[in-house]
Amino acid sequence: MEKFKIKPETTLKMFEILGGMWIAGCVKAAAELNIADFLAEGPKTISQLAKVTYSNENQLYRIMRALSSVGIFTETGNKTFILNELGATMQSGVPGTVKDFILANLTEHFPGFMELTYSVQTGKVPFEYVHGMNLWEYYKKNPELGNNFGRGMTGLSNMELDGIIKNYNFSPYKTIVDVGGGNGIMMYTILNSAPESSGIIFDESYVTETTAGCIPENLKNRCSVAVGSFFEKVPEGADLYTMKWIIHDWNDDECIRILKVCYNAMPKGAKLLIIDAMIPDDSQNKPHIGKLLDIVMMACITGRERTLSEFREIIEKSGLTFNRLIDIGTEAKSIIECEKI
């Protein structure tokens, strides 16, 4: 067995990695206290922040000092803090916010990350072990947390929607179905880029009940919702089907089942876009956001992030034909175009 002499600087590096958990705790506190929203009004002393957040001034300062040390908010003289670009991502209700995603990951999701050994030894899902039900059942029973998770997904969408629109031409398609389309943010973006197209946002009833009332006025004559389960049936006869961050939620057998349902609904020549992270097949020992997102999948659901060869395998087993891989400028998402031949 090869033995390494552990150097102090190596120990420090591991210590810094562990520090990510400690900073995450501070990030959660800042999100829960709406710190970014208050700083968006202008610089504030720690006394002012403590007053508006009903916090202990000394304890809050320790949180804010730690966050500022890693570039989240900026501390100036006299214990005064200002909002910076990174801290601004925790504002409420702004395009690109990650506040809701932070709260989901560090609240209901977090216990699952502490039980990864359970997953490794049993092949089962830590979230289910901790909560006694799967993620989707949990959100149905806790709709406020489910709504927060949906907002979190919307916030993350902003980092790739521009890349999707710039790198894929939706104009040729008369009817587009977004399978598992949630609150419709991607469909609205697509339809605004393709003025002759119409769209259907397909999801379960507890999702579409809200979505139906949120369709923008300028799209109401071209956009509608449809209710159902993509394990059973999706709207038939569209020219294009899209699935963003859907396939990665499920294991291979479940994915093949979903894709076969789509295949059965598609006319010949129709296309389907899988929009997910794609881990390069030759990325051994190289950093890639998909490798970290894959741990989120392991902790919370039955799904996984995949390499292109793994995607091609489930696509072919569903009856679809792989056409091409389209880079949209972010590791968090790529477009995999499939077709019913």
In the chain, domain spans: 8-90, 99-153, 159-339
At 1 the pLDDT is 62
Which carries the bigger pLDDT value, residue 6 or residue 176? 176
Q: Is 182 left (phi over 0), alpha (psi -120 to 50) or beta?
A: left
Which CATH entry fits the domain spanning 159-339: 3.40.50.150, 1.20.1250.20, 2.40.160.20, 3.30.300.30? 3.40.50.150
Lowest mean pLDDT among 108-122, 279-293, 306-320: 279-293
- What confidence tens digit (pLDDT) does each residue in 181-226 have? 988 999 999 999 999 999 999 999 888 988 999 999 999 999 999 9
128 residue type, one letter: E
Contact (Cβ atoms closer than 8 angstroms) between residue 100 and residue 148 = yes
The pTM score is: 0.89
- What confidence tens digit (pLDDT) does each residue in 215-259 have? 999 999 999 999 999 999 999 999 999 999 999 999 999 999 999
The values of phi and psi at residue 336, to 5°, are -110, 110
Measured distance CA(290)–CA(337) in Å, rounded: 19
Residue 141 predicted with pLDDT over 90: yes
Q: Catalytic residue at 131?
A: no
- Compute the chain's Rg from CA coordinates: 22
At 207 the pLDDT is 86
Is domain 8-90 in CATH 1.10.10.10, yes or no?
yes
Handedness of CA 260, 262, 267, 269 (dihedral sign): negative
- What confidence tens digit (pLDDT) does each residue in 259-284 have? 999 999 999 999 999 999 999 999 89
- What confidence tens digit (pLDDT) does each residue in 117-140 have? 999 999 999 999 999 999 999 999
- Annotated catalytic residue within 109, 131, 248, 288: 248
Q: What are the beta bridge partners of residue 322?
A: 338
- What confidence tens digit (pLDDT) does each residue in 3-54 have? 788 889 999 999 999 999 999 999 999 999 999 999 999 999 999 999 999 9
Average pLDDT for residues 298-306, to the nearest whole number?
Answer: 96
Task: Find all residues with CB under 8 Å of 238, minimum gap 6, and list them.
Answer: 173, 175, 176, 177, 200, 265, 266, 270
Q: Residue 74: which pLDDT band, with cuts at 50, 70 and 90?
A: very high
Measured distance CA(3)–CA(196) in Å, rounded: 66
* CB burial string 203-237: b at 16+ within 10 A, e below: beeebbebbeeebeeebeebbbbbebebeeebbee
Query: How far separated are the first and last CA of the chain, in Å rounded?
Result: 54
At 4 the pLDDT is 81
DSSP 139-160: HHH-HHHHHHHHHHHHHHHTTT
